[in-house]
């Protein structure tokens, strides 16, 4: 039995999102976070992406606990898919676990594993690991970092954090505890790399509250604020600003309503009595007395804001005089969708305020000076940049060098690479299966690269379906050929192009005898080849050709 500690990233080291980390020592596995990633542009039809957990498939009996740092989707979103077959404790702060519980109910999963609530500075034991939770400031309440005491030394996991000197709802990063770890001796620091490209320090969330108030004060119509449902601090600011301006507030959208209900129940969100109204009451109040808080800041096609912008929402349609505030960062990959929704909002007469025209969002991730401070507080022997694309990890590694972490003590790992600590020190040694599993509706992992490539090809080149019915004895045509095209032929040219294609099919049929062995398959193959060549010559496209031949 080996006495080495293995730290294995299964997601989050090579992309934004998909965060999942495994700690392995002898016969014990501990999982930290299990998040999703939003599908990229080429992932047509995909709902979400989760980490590949095939490494854990034969090690289920070794898994003794799942530890969660906070309640963002990129840290908890994969839990319904990976935890439903497990019966191990899930540890997290109250708001985080409440979101997980809601997510399990939404997936119709009966949670058989215990949910164990923890508080900052509380310690738990999972096999040979002692885990202490450390309060960190982030863009969701109840975020924590981790101090993990292992048989080979102390590992500090920063979680998603920023070092904000002005507390929001009392949640200030516990730099004293991180400094205490530094005094004790930290074997390795694993630190969030998301905003390593940003110089200086993050601004305070309270500054955003002031800017929201300044914007709202000048609005004469309805104000619609789109924000992440989990950003309770931002939602609280909107509530306070709306109250100061004598406006009613409406929370709209399933995830928004669920998150707000949880936050109010746990005491993280306070809405004055009589201020909140149901969206069905909107018609009973003048426009200048309303603020609507909703989802859709990333241009999600089924979000409340998008339905308002397209006129498909039952109660609210965007109109002249409305002000829409997108109070969130543009997540990479969502820029086009966000631009589309902004254009739709403008087309309906709304004034739109977003990050490129006004500073109405502050990041929950540390900038460079805060990242340096985290390294200096903990003074680790080894440094492991986590949470980010490769460019972020490399920039963070260079930043660590600036504060005197020697290059040989920086372990720049990517998904699937095994970080090993033992008596010989720390190193990257070996690799395990890691990657992305695509979720398409109820199918998990059914869609692979080949299918995605086919979908992309269909979207770019189009589809042609050729059908005909022939007599099985004589080989003569009973009906057809009929040709239907999708996605590539313009109506003005369709008749000529498709009529010529029919003639090609007839010529192919004439070249095959009725008693020819394998006649139908030969005809299909010939039709595919000939029509593909024909369409490329005529319109420079290579559509997918799908021949259907019925013998009667």
pLDDT of residue 447: 44
Comparing 517 with 160, the larger pLDDT belongs to 160
Comparing 392 with 339, the larger pLDDT belongs to 392
Q: Kindly report the CATH number assigned to the domain that includes residue 226.
A: 3.40.50.10710
pLDDT at 40 over 70: no
Which residues make Cβ contacts (< 8 Å) with residue 351, sequence separation at least 6? Answer: 322, 323, 324
Q: H or E segment at 491? A: helix 491-510
Residues 217 and 177 grouped into a single domain: no
Overall average pLDDT of the 235-246 stretch: 93
Residues 326 and 389 grouped into a single domain: no
Least confidently predicted of 59-63, 91-95, 455-459 = 455-459
**Average pLDDT value over all residues in the chain:** 86
Kindly report the CA angle at 116 between 53 and 444, in degrees rounded to 5? 25
Residues 95 and 37 grouped into a single domain: yes
**Total structural domains within the chain:** 3
Overall average pLDDT of the 334-349 stretch: 87
- Residue-wise burial string across 461-476, b where 16 or more C-beta atoms lie within 10 A, e elsewhere: bbbbebbbebeeeebe
* Domain final residue pick, 388, 418, 444: 444
SS3 state of residue 248: strand
Contact 444, 453 (CB under 8 A): no
Q: 115 falls in which pLDDT band (50, 70, 90)?
A: very high
Residues 56 and 190 grouped into a single domain: yes
Domain range enclosing 510: 462-551
Task: Calculate the alpha carbon distances from 66 to 29, 31, 135, 316 in Å.
Answer: 9, 5, 18, 41
Q: Kindly report the CATH number assigned to the domain that includes residue 482.
A: 3.10.20.580
pLDDT of residue 443: 43
Do the domain assignments include residue 451?
no
The encoded tokens of residue 176 equal 């004293």
Give the 3-state secondary structure of 395-431.
Answer: HHHHHHHHCCCCHHHECCCCCCEEEEEECCEEEEEEE
- If you average pLDDT over each of 216-225, 406-415, 475-484, which comes out highest? 406-415
Q: 298 falls in which pLDDT band (50, 70, 90)?
A: confident
Say how far apart CA 68 and CA 45 lie, in whole Å: 29
Do the domain assignments include residue 456?
no
pLDDT at 483 over 50: yes
């Amino acid at each position: 039995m080996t006495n080495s500690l293995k730290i294995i990233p299964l997601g989050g080291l090579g992309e934004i999102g998909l965060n999942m980390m495994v700690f392995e020592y002898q016969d014990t596995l501990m999982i930290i976070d299990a998040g999703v990633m939003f599908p990229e542009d080429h992932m047509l039809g995909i709902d979400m992406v989760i980490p590949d957990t095939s490494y854990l498939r034969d090690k289920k009996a070794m898994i003794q606990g799942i530890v969660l740092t906070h309640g963002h989707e990129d840290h908890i979103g994969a839990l319904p898919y990976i935890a439903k077959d497990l019966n191990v404790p899930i540890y997290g702060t109250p708001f985080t676990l409440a979101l997980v519980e809601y997510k399990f109910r939404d997936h119709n999963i009966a949670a058989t594993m215990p949910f164990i609530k923890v508080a900052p500075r509380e310690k738990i034991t999972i096999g040979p690991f002692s885990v202490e939770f450390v309060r960190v400031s982030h863009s969701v309440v109840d975020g924590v970092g981790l101090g993990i005491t292992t048989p080979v030394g102390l590992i500090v996991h920063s979680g998603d954090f920023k070092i904000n000197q002005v507390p929001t709802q009392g949640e200030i990063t516990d730099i004293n505890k991180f400094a205490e770890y530094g005094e004790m001796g930290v074997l390795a620091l694993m630190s969030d790399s998301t905003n390593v490209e940003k110089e200086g320090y993050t601004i305070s969330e309270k500054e955003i509250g002031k800017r929201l108030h300044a914007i709202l004060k000048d609005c004469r119509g309805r104000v619609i604020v789109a924000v992440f449902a989990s950003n309770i601090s931002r939602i609280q600011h909107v509530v306070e600003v709306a109250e100061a301006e004598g406006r009613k507030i409406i929370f709209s959208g399933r995830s928004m309503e669920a998150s707000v209900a949880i936050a109010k129940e746990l005491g993280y969100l306070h809405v004055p009595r009589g201020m909140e109204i149901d969206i069905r009451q909107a018609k009973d109040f003048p426009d200048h007395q309303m603020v609507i808080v909703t989802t859709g800041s990333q241009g999600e096609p089924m979000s409340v804001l998008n339905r308002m912008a397209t006129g498909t929402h039952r109660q609210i349609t965007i109109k002249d005089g409305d002000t829409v505030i997108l109070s969130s960062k543009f997540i990479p990959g969502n820029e086009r969708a966000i631009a589309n929704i902004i254009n739709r909002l403008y087309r309906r007469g709304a004034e739109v305020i977003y990050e490129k025209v006004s500073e109405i969002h502050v990041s929950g991730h540390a900038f460079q000076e805060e990242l340096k401070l985290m390294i200096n507080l903990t003074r680790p022997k080894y440094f492991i940049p986590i949470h980010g694309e490769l460019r972020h990890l490399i920039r963070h590694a260079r930043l660590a060098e600036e504060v005197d972490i020697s290059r040989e003590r920086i372990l720049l790992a990517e998904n699937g690479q095994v970080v090993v600590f033992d008596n010989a020190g720390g190193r990257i040694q070996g690799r395990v299966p890691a990657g992305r599993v695509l979720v398409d509706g109820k199918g998990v992992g059914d869609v692979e690269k080949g299918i995605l490539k086919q979908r992309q090809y269909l979207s770019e080149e189009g589809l042609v379906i050729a059908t005909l019915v022939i007599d099985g004895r004589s080989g003569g045509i009973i009906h057809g050929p009929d040709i239907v095209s999708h996605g590539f032929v313009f109506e003005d040219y369709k008749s000529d192009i498709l009529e010529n294609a029919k003639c090609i099919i007839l010529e192919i049929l004439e070249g095959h005898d009725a008693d020819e062995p394998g006649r139908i398959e030969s005809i299909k193959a010939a039709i595919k080849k000939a029509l593909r060549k024909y369409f490329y010559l005529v319109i420079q496209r290579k559509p997918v050709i799908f021949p259907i031949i019925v013998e009667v």
